Amino acid sequence: MLLTVDHVTLYRYSQPVRGVVQSHRLTPSEFDGQRTRSWQVTVSDGLMGGQFRDGAGDLVQAWTVQGPVSEIAVSVRGTVETTDLAGILRGHKERVPPQCYLESTPVTLADLALSDLSDGANATGGGLDAAHRLATLVADTIAYTPGSTQSATTAAEALAIGKGVCQDQAHALLAMARRAGIPARYVSGYLHASQDGSLHEAAHAWAELWLHDLGWVGFDPANRCCPDDRYIRLGSGLDALDAAPIKGIARGRGAESMDVQLAVQQNEQ
């Protein structure tokens, strides 16, 4: 599939800030399922900082903006050719050992309920079937409900109310997989929504589980599937914060508000 992304994030500050530092993971991953045709990221009034590929294979680009400034626009535009690999992250170069992704973070801690749910799925050993069972369990127990949670909601909290968005579902899957001894990580990216509206959230997130015979495999509880050619993978981390496509800190007292415009469209071949 040929997908074109048009993504603008607008940061507004109630008072001008003295400066902004950002760290971006906004470039499509390089693996057999994705080929980037063109890609450009710009930051209004931004000065490009250092660039490097990190141990997880993500391209990180730093930016700074010198103040005083009260509005910053981060624009992403580009086209990616995608192939359906049934969720398998084939041909992705990375060096971080899978064991590192067994570590829990505050939002992905398995409480008693998550632990019970994970133990009940009998997933220890980490086969493909076990991974699917865990993903299905998440989808069954945390109903996709926009607006039901906040960005700081933990996996345990989402399970307790039985509702959440893709972030919560991914966090819950990470908690349950790690509980079963399966390395798991949070993936951020884009999703091309189909015409009939069955898929949602163009700025999307899912989980990858490390399975012995397959390596990293994506699971998207929100859509009850493995990522295919409608997905564009950007980067990964231990949780949503760690994998955030844009991390930033502003120097100054102004309160920050954010506005996102995003379209992921299929091109005519």
Partner 1 sequence: MTTYFNEMYENGAVRGPYGQLDDWMRNMPAELRQMKQAEAEALFRRIGITFAVYGEGGDPDRLIPFDMFPRVFSALEWGKLDRGVKQRARALNAFLADVYGRGEIVRAGRIPANLVYRNDAFEKEVVGILPPKGVYSHIVGVDLVRTGPDEFFVLEDNCRTPSGVSYMLENREIMMRMFPALFRENRIEPVDTYPDLLRRTLASVAPPKCNGEPVIVILTPGHFNSAYYEHSFLADLMGVELVEGQDLFVEGEFVYMRTTEGPRRVDVIYRRIDDDFIDPLCFRPDSMLGVPGLMDVYRSGGVAICSAPGAGVADDKAVYTFVPEMIRFYLGEEPILNNVPTWQCAKPDDCKYVLENLKELVVKEVHGSGGYGMLVGPKCTKAEIEAFALRIKAKPHNYIAQPTLALSTTPTFVDQGIAPRHVDLRPYCLVGERVELVPGGLTRVALTEGSLVVNSSQGGGVKDTWVLAG
- Interface residues with partner 1 (CB under 8 A) are 19, 21-23, 47-56, 60, 62, 64, 66, 95-97, 99-100, 102-103, 241, 247-249, 251
Output 117-120 pairs: Cβ under 8 A, ≥24 positions apart: 117/141, 117/159, 117/176, 118/175, 118/176, 118/177, 118/179, 118/180, 119/179, 119/180
Strand partners, 144: 164
At closest approach, how far in Å is the CB of 220 from partner 1? 23
Phi-psi map region of 159: left, alpha, beta (phi>0 left; psi -120 to 50 alpha):
alpha
In the complex with partner 1, which residue's Cβ is closer, 146 or 181?
181
CB of 37 to partner 1, least distance (A): 26
Q: Which helix (H) or strand (E) holds 189?
A: strand 184-191
The residue (of 49 and 215) whose beta carbon lies closer to partner 1 is: 49
Nearer to partner 1, 49 or 127 (CB): 49
SS3 string of 88-137? ECCCCCCCCCHHHHHCCCHHHCCCHHHHHHHHHCCCCCCCHHHHHHHHHH
At 32, the amino acid letter reads: D
CB of 21 vs partner 1, minimal distance in Å: 4
98 or 127: whose CB is closer to partner 1?
98
Backbone angles phi, psi at 85, to 5 degrees: -115, 25
Strand partners, 255: none
- Residues 2 and 232 sit within 8 Å (Cβ to Cβ): no
**166-179 and 112-120 are packed helices; what angle lies between their axes, rounded to 10 degrees?**
70
Choice between 141 and 236, CB closer to partner 1: 236
Burial-class residue 15 by CB neighbours within 10 Å (0-12, 13-18, 19+).
Answer: exposed
Beta bridge partners of 188: 205, 235
Q: Which is nearer to partner 1, 163 or 178 (CB)?
A: 178
**Nearer to partner 1 among residue 178 and residue 230 (C-beta):** 178
Q: In whole angstroms, how close is the CB of 12 to partner 1 at the nearest point?
A: 19
